Amino acid sequence: MSVSALSIKNVSHDFGDFKALDKVSLEIRPGDFTVLLGLNGAGKTTLYSLITRLYSNNSGSIEIYGHNVRSQSVNALKHIGVVFQQPTLDLDLSVKENLNYHSSLHGISALEAKKKIDKEISRINLDDKLKKKVRSLSGGQRRRVEIARALIHEPKLLLLDEPTVGLDIGSRQLILNHVKTLCKKNKLAVLWATHLIDEIDKGEKVVIIDKGKVLDSGGVEKIVKKTKTKNIREAFNKLVGIKK
């Protein structure tokens, strides 16, 4: 049996008296596209901060391809690429300069970096923007560059925290399609955090989180059937207690 891309077991996290996460568990297999669905403040960003070691988990365990993020952090974190909720590109550098900087942080040689950058930029159809300053790009284009940057070191697990917030429908769909294609073609595991229910397709896996707790997880159809609702929107509303 293959090792999990991401295994989280009984992870809790407090900010003083506030419990941001309460015994959260989830598992992602290689090639899975899993949606972490929750309202703003549900605990999605806190969970990502623990996975990426921005915060330290003091309870439970987090493993990436069998490596514990606390005791084997170097081996664990080398497998992940991250697109954070807040944009992190340098607006006054060109697209190429941003990607070169990221490549150097991962110890990728200049020659190898050029090959990888050309490949990722071609995938997102922004070849003509490579020498443009990030400031001149649209919001959707910037997000696509951030995804390209997260993939340059060829991670096996991609974490995206609300990657399409504030984008128009066309840009959102373009980014979704791109990431889902990577899952299928490259066996890339993806955890896609969002509060936008319309980003979920029928056959996908969903983890519903609210107030720091996982309320349900599994395939969309399974959750809909279990909650005796008509669709994932109704199921989500029922689980988190949103009245019609």
Length of the chain: 244
Strand order in the sheet with 6-15: 18-28, 6-15, 61-64, 67-68
Nearest to 199 by CA among 227, 167, 224, 225: 167
- Give the pairing type, strands 18-28 and 6-15: antiparallel
132 close to 99: Cβ distance less than 8 angstroms:
no
133 close to 96: Cβ distance less than 8 angstroms:
no
Q: Where are the alpha helices (DSSP H) in 106-168?
A: 110-123, 139-151
Digit-coded pLDDT (tens) for 113-138:
999 999 999 988 899 999 999 999 99
* pTM, full prediction: 0.92
Q: What is the DSSP string of 40-100?
A: TTSSHHHHHHHHTTSS---SSEEEETTEETTTSHHHHHTTEEEE-SS--S-TTSBHHHHHH
Domains of the chain are: 1-79+157-213 (3.40.50.300), 89-154 (no CATH)
Digit-coded pLDDT (tens) for 158-183:
999 999 888 888 888 888 988 998 88
pLDDT, mean over the chain: 92
Strand order in the sheet with 189-194: 80-83, 157-161, 189-194, 33-37, 205-210, 213-219
Nearest to 178 by CA among 224, 222, 126: 126
Digit-coded pLDDT (tens) for 46-100:
999 999 999 988 899 999 999 999 999 999 999 999 998 888 899 999 999 999 9
Phi then psi dihedrals of residue 8, to 5 deg? -120, 125
User: Which neighbouring-strand residues pair with 32?
Assistant: none
Cβ neighbours for 108, distance < 8 A, ≥ 6 positions apart:
116, 152, 153
